[in-house]
Structure 1
Amino acid sequence: MTWVVGGLVAVGVAGAAAAGYLGLVTGALPLDLGAGRRTRPLGPRSVDSAAPRETVFEVIAQPYLGRATRAMREKVAVLERGSDMVLAAHRTPVAGGRLTATTVETVRFTRPERVDFRLVRGPVPAVTEWFELTEHGPGTRLEYTGALGTDLWALGQWWGSVIAPRWEAGVASSLAAVKQEAERRSHR
């Protein structure tokens, strides 16, 4: 009889661990313990666009401040809007598209040179990141920089090493999409 109870406890612990992991990955179970905080850099990454800086800025800002395309509405939902800042939920497919991670971030706009993001809820307790737009030759250089913070010392550092490459891959995809759309608009 004790082996049955022990087996049930093991199954319960394994189930709780799996649920906790899924909660962290998808952002549904945010943990911000404030103990053993470790911070690691994100980026820098940059992309040069042949489009003018104002056009690149408009492409970045449109899903937040303007009318988002259907594709962007599936990825970004504005929860609250102010004159120069929004609170937005960002949905990203993870685990090969089997799950969706939802992060909630504030997004602040300084036209036309900067867009700042600050994580409110997600798979890690702290992320600050920004896009800087500078005139570069006949076009624009869009540079991404940020920092990702995790708790719980070495365990958090390990978790950050799992999350950061995926986070940066998502940013790289966004940079490429911004470049493509800004250049498309500027050639119309």
Structure 2
Amino acid sequence: MAWRAKLVGVAAVGGGGAAACYLGLVSGAMPLDVGVGRRIRPLGPQVVDIRAPRDVVFDVIAQPYLGRTTRAMREKVRVLERGSDMVLASHSTPVAGGKLTAVTVEAVRFTRPDRVEFRLVRGPVPHVVESFVLTTTEAGTRLAYEGELGTDGWALGQRWGQLVAARWEETVTASLASVRHESERRAALR
């Protein structure tokens, strides 16, 4: 009987440890970057056509980082360090139906007027690089997003990467829709 009690205790501790690891990974509080079994998968591409000039679209993307952060964006983006063409920023994203908040820290580089690049510093996976590329079209601007996400741990890490990438791309889709809406609003006011 004593061995059963010990087994239940070990299982409870192991389960609690697994839950703590999961929460740490999801929230970005415990990033796992061991450099072993790295798997890379693409993010995107996603393309959005926007009826606004390229400089307006660039300014909308850059605003929360290089300018004054709006009240609505303060809950999502916090600039930790700012340079002339690059910032270090934390991004907060609700996950698990809003029960948890994933926090990532990213270096964001700006090349006016056509490119914004993101590189993950800390988050739920060890490697993410992304870019927003802006090109002028007859109707306004084409915003193209693409990137890559990398995980460690071979097949298990790859599965984790699929879960993270799905939520990551949902967040990017919402962000692109917001950029489109605000850019077109600003262009109409010109």
TM-score range, shorter chain: over 0.9
Whole-Å separation in 1 of the counterparts to 2:98 and 2:164: 16
SS at match of 1:187: helix
Q: Establish whether residue 92 from structure 1 lines up as the match of residue 87 from structure 2.
A: no
Count of residues paired in the alignment? 188
Matches within 5 A, 1:87-166: 87-166=88-167
**Mean Cα deviation higher: 158-167 or 176-185:** 158-167
| Aligned residue number for residue 7 of structure 1 | 8
The farther-off stretch of 154-163 and 38-47 is 154-163
TM-score (norm 1): 0.99
Determine the structure 1 residue equivalent to 2:83: 82
1:4, CA displacement in angstroms? 1.5
* Amino acid of the structure 2 residue aligned with 1:122: G
Match of 1:28 in 2: 29
Alignment match, 2:62: 61
Aligned equivalents of 2:114, 2:175: Cα separation in 1? 17
Deviation of 1:6 (Å): 1.6
* Counterpart Cα distance in 1 of 2:129 and 2:29: 19
Report the CA distance between 1:119 and its aligned residue: 0.2
RMSD (Å), alpha carbons: 0.6
Aligned to 2:20: 19
Q: Higher mean Cα deviation, 159-168 or 174-183?
A: 159-168
Specify every segment of 5 or more residues in structure 1 that has no aligned partner in the other structure, as ranges. Answer: none
AA in 2 matched with 1:96: G
Q: Give the Cα separation in 1 of the matches to 2:52 and 2:113.
A: 13
Partner Cα separation in structure 2 for residue 13 and residue 91 of structure 1: 29
| Structure 1 stretches of at least 4 aligned residues deviating more than 3 Å after TM superposition | none
Q: CA deviation at 1:140?
A: 0.2
Q: How many angstroms apart in 2 are the aligned matches of 1:4 and 1:129?
A: 50
Instruction: State the AA in 1 paired with 2:19.
Output: A
Letter in 1 for 2:185: R
Gaps of 5+ in 2: none
Measured in 2, the distance between the counterparts of 1:36 and 1:138 equals 45
In 2: Cα distance, 1:105 partner to 1:64 partner: 11
Separation of aligned partners in 1, 2:160 and 2:139: 41
The offset of 1:47, in angstroms, is: 0.4
Deviation of the 1:2 alpha carbon = 2.3
